């Protein structure tokens, strides 16, 4: 038994040696040619640098050509783009955003609103029947509804402020980890033709729906006209970024300026000293 095990180990050792000898270069010249050229890293100063965690890295791409071109690497703050995939926070943010816009129009009539029933159906005494004052009582068929829904009913509530902040961090981190987050130098495209945008998205495998984020709400003219004809590509300013929109679209595209603005605002709220005072205006009720 031991002989068989040693034979197997020897065979594996020699097989790994043969594989490594075939893969590795034989001399120093081949090793020099095998070295991958260094890629340019765009200089970017991170706010609140993290001491014990390396920054995340992402490619900066272009939009002026259909074929993808790597313009360099960019460092991303680990506290913003390297958070944990908190599914509970994502669900709470999505549910909160849905409930904000939801208004229930279900409506039922009470006994006072149902037509008829003004006369007492039978005398109070003498017939041996239960006493009733109206046939529109909730006890009768065709009567009013007790404790039924009344329209319009809003389901609005305020989610905790820092639950929203960490929900944004979780959504951005998930998008980056799944390779669904792309960073571009700008949103300038050479033409207003929507076919150019569709061809670009198909060539780069960006998925069926794309959300593009820029700093200002006034976007470049070409991409604004092109996205009007493409319903699955949407533009949004950075101040409107939210969890529901990021999860609704399969691909998230950020400009470099948008990345700077997102990191600036999120890191400010994570490191501010008056956090207790900051969340007071958002205390609406206890549903958060």
Q: Which pLDDT does position 168 carry in this prediction?
A: 97
Calculate the alpha carbon distances from 278 to 169, 186, 267, 274 in Å: 18, 33, 14, 6
184-219 pLDDT, tens per residue? 999 999 999 999 999 999 999 998 999 999 999 999
For the chain, list the domains and their CATH numbers: 56-101+158-282 (3.40.1370.10), 104-154 (no CATH)
Q: How confident is the model at residue 16 (pLDDT cuts 50, 70, 90)?
A: very low
> CA angle, 80 as apex, 246 and 261 as ends, to 5°?
75
Averaged pLDDT for residues 122-149: 95
Neighbours of 47 (CB within 10 A): 14
Averaged pLDDT for residues 127-133: 95
State the chain's mean pLDDT as an integer.
Answer: 85
33-55 pLDDT, tens per residue? 443 445 577 777 888 888 888 99
Instruction: Name the token pair of 2.
Output: 């031991």
> In the predicted model, is pLDDT for residue 29 greater than 80?
no
Q: How confident is the model at residue 276 (pLDDT cuts 50, 70, 90)?
A: confident
Q: How confident is the model at residue 183 (pLDDT cuts 50, 70, 90)?
A: very high
pTM of structure: 0.77
> In the predicted model, is pLDDT for residue 27 greater than 70?
no
Calculate the alpha carbon distances from 123 to 134, 164, 171, 189 in Å: 11, 62, 68, 84
């Amino acid at each position: 038994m031991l002989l068989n095990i040693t034979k197997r180990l020897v065979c594996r050792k020699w097989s790994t040696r043969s594989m490594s000898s075939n893969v590795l270069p034989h001399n120093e010249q081949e090793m020099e040619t095998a070295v991958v050229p260094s890629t340019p890293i765009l200089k970017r100063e991170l706010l609140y640098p993290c001491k014990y965690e390396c920054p995340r890295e992402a490619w900066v791409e272009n939009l002026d050509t259909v074929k993808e071109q790597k313009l360099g690497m960019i460092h991303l703050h680990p506290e913003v783009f390297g958070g944990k995939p908190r599914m509970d926070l994502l669900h709470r943010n999505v549910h909160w955003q849905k409930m904000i816009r939801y208004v229930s129009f279900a409506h039922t009539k009470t006994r006072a609103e149902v037509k008829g029933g003004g006369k007492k159906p039978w005398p109070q005494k003498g017939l041996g029947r239960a006493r009733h004052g109206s046939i529109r009582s909730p006890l009768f068929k065709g009567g009013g509804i007790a404790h039924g829904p009344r329209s319009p009913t809003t389901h609005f509530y305020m989610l905790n402020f820092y639950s929203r902040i960490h929900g944004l961090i979780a959504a951005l981190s998930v998008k980056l980890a799944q390779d669904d987050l792309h960073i571009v130098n700008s949103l300038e495209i050479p033409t207003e033709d929507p076919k150019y945008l569709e061809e670009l998205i198909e060539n780069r495998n960006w998925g069926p729906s794309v959300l593009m984020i820029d700093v200002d709400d006034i976007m470049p003219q070409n991409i604004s006209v092109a996205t009007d004809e493409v319903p699955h590509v949407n533009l949004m300013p950075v101040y409107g970024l939210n969890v529901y929109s990021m999860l609704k679209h399969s691909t998230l595209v950020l400009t470099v300026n948008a990345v700077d603005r997102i990191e600036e605002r999120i890191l400010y709220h994570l490191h501010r000293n008056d956090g207790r005072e900051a969340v007071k205006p958002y205390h609406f009720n206890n549903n958060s």
